[in-house]
Structure 1
Amino acid sequence: MSSVIFTLADLKRILLEGSGAPEGTDLEGDILDMEFSDIGYDSLALLETTSRIEREYRIELDESRVGDATTPRALLDAISAHLTARAA
């Protein structure tokens, strides 16, 4: 099975498609280690984001791991770990 890579650009695209950009948010900056709440995304926006990721990539993410992901880096790590395990 081929390996699928999920990047920060993918995450930004899905965030913008699902929730838009909160006023005053610059997703082009260095956001990897910023809390989602600090860049304007609440838990409802993240729920929509993970739902979109699951549909687009045809995966089911671990709810507890995704729930603990408070930064883009942590969410990317959770998604990448799932995709890597699925490819193995």
Structure 2
Amino acid sequence: MSTTAFTVEELKRILREGAGADESVNLDGDILDTDFEELGYESLALLETGGRIEREYGITLDDDALTEARTPRALIDVVNGQLALTAA
């Protein structure tokens, strides 16, 4: 379990490991406010991503919060919020 903040770099790594990356999408660009669907990740890929985050960081993510996080920035905020709750 990590106690550091969840970053966009960690999210990119987990996305690539769990669901791969669409060759037409550059995850190395500024993706923070890009909708996951535009990045080629649909709900099933995001559920896999959420499961990987939960296992690596020892947290539980609410399914609704996960599906409502439409962008990497929103998902990072959800994860960091949960990390803050578990650290308290």
Normalising by structure 1, we get a TM-score of 0.93
- One-letter identity of the residue aligned with 2:73: R
1:19-78: per-residue Cα shift (whole Å, max 9, x none)?
111130100011000000001111111011000001111111122111110000000000
Residues 64-83 of structure 1 correspond to what in structure 2 (within 5 A)?
Answer: 64-83=64-83
1:19 equivalent to 2:19? Answer yes
Runs of 4+ with >3 A deviation: none
Structure 2 residues without counterparts, runs of 5 or longer: none
Aligned residue for 1:57? 57
Deviation at 1:3, TM superposition (A): 4.0
SS of 2:37's partner is: helix
Choose 77-86 or 59-68, whichever is displaced more.
59-68
- One-letter identity of the residue aligned with 1:75: L
Structure 1 residues without counterparts, runs of 5 or longer: none
Q: Output the CA distance in 2 between the equivalents of 1:65 and 1:18.
A: 19
Q: Output the CA distance in 2 between the equivalents of 1:27 and 1:48.
A: 18
- One-letter identity of the residue aligned with 1:48: E
SS of 1:37's partner is: coil
The number of residue pairs the alignment matches comes to 87
Aligned Cα root-mean-square deviation (Å): 1.3
Normalising by structure 2, we get a TM-score of 0.93
Q: Output the CA distance in 2 between the equivalents of 1:39 and 1:73.
A: 13
